[in-house]
């Protein structure tokens, strides 16, 4: 990873970002209907459940390796400039949770994740370039996330600019984590991914930009 990319995560680490710009709500799922219709699990026992003291959510246990699932609403494969956001929570600090954007297929997409790496808790924008370990770290930085707390993640993709943001107040305000330019993938579906922890995902939304 080059020096220019390494510094990208610093630029917006402490800046507070407004909510997504004027856009169209293209997809929303809060799982309160008790089902996950329209989602396709690639790995893992994804199911709607009720976390302790919370509303229904999309859940996966730590029993499967790298569980991943994609949403398949009509036209999703053509989404180009958009933001995907979701409320996420994990029960353990040794794993991670991620939202996926511009997924061309099961192994080609962008991903914003919270994870522990070399004993440091942080965030990453990854690019998946195919099966068999094709991961590229596009941007990353430290963030003191903890288990058993809800965070709202947002991955905004406008042209080649990918921007990561996080909210701790349910999406009322967001803090920009960092951004990077990458033009490998220009359109595609959304998804979520977790590993080595029980994870909860709720209130998934997609806003497309004219």
> At which residue do the structure tokens 């009720």 appear?
50
Model confidence at 21, pLDDT cuts 50, 70, 90, reads low
Question: What is the pLDDT, as a whole number, of residue 12?
Answer: 42
Given pLDDT bands bounded at 50, 70 and 90, which one contains residue 2? very low
| Residue with more model confidence, 13 or 205 | 205
Give the pLDDT mean for 27-45: 93
Could you report the per-residue pLDDT of 97-140, keeping only the tens digit for each? Answer: 999 999 999 999 999 999 987 777 899 999 999 877 689 999 99
Sheet holding 39-43, edge to edge: 39-43, 68-71, 189-195, 96-105, 108-117, 120-129, 135-142
Task: Give me the pLDDT at residue 165, please.
Answer: 98
Tally DSSP H helices, then E strands, for the chain. 2, 16
* pLDDT, position 15: 41
Q: How many CB atoms lie within 10 A of CB 77?
A: 13
> Where do the domains of the chain lie, and which CATH numbers do they carry?
3-208 (2.60.120.560)
- When comparing pLDDT for 15 and 106, which is higher? 106
Q: What is the pLDDT of residues 58-83, one digit of tens each?
A: 999 876 678 999 999 989 999 999 99
- In tens, the pLDDT along 153-209 reads 999 999 999 999 999 999 999 999 999 999 999 999 999 999 889 999 999 999 999
CA distance 168 to 91: 17
Q: What pLDDT, on the 0 to 100 scale, is given for residue 120?
A: 78
Q: What is the pLDDT of residues 77-108, one digit of tens each?
A: 999 999 999 999 999 988 899 999 999 999 99
Q: Is the pLDDT of residue 20 over 90?
A: no
> What token pair was written down for 63?
């029993």
Rounded-to-integer distance, Cα 58 and Cα 52, Å: 13
Higher-confidence residue of 6 and 177: namely 177
State the pLDDT at residue 66.
Answer: 85
- Burial classification of residue 19, based on how many CB atoms lie within 10 Å of its CB (0-12 exposed, 13-18 middle, 19 or more buried): middle
């Amino acid at each position: 990873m080059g020096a220019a990319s390494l510094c990208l995560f610093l630029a917006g680490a402490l800046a507070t970002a407004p909510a997504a710009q004027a856009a169209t709500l293209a997809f929303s799922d809060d799982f309160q209907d008790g089902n996950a219709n329209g989602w396709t699990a690639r790995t893992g026992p994804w199911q709607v459940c009720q976390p302790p003291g919370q509303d229904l959510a999309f859940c996966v246990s730590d029993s499967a390796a790298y569980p991943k699932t994609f949403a398949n609403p009509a036209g999703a494969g053509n989404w180009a400039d958009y933001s995907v956001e979701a409320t996420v929570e994990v029960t353990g600090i040794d794993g991670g949770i991620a939202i996926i954007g511009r997924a061309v297929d099961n192994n080609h997409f962008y991903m914003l994740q919270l994870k522990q790496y070399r004993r440091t808790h942080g965030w990453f924008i990854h690019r998946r370039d195919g099966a068999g370990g094709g991961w590229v770290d596009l941007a990353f930085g430290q963030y003191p996330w903890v288990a058993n707390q809800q965070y709202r993640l947002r991955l905004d993709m406008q042209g080649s600019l990918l921007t990561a943001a996080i909210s701790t107040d349910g999406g009322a305000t967001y803090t920009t984590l960092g951004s990077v330019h990458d033009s490998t993938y220009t359109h595609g579906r959304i998804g979520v991914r977790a590993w080595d922890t029980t994870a909860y995902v709720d209130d998934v939304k997609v806003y497309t930009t004219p």
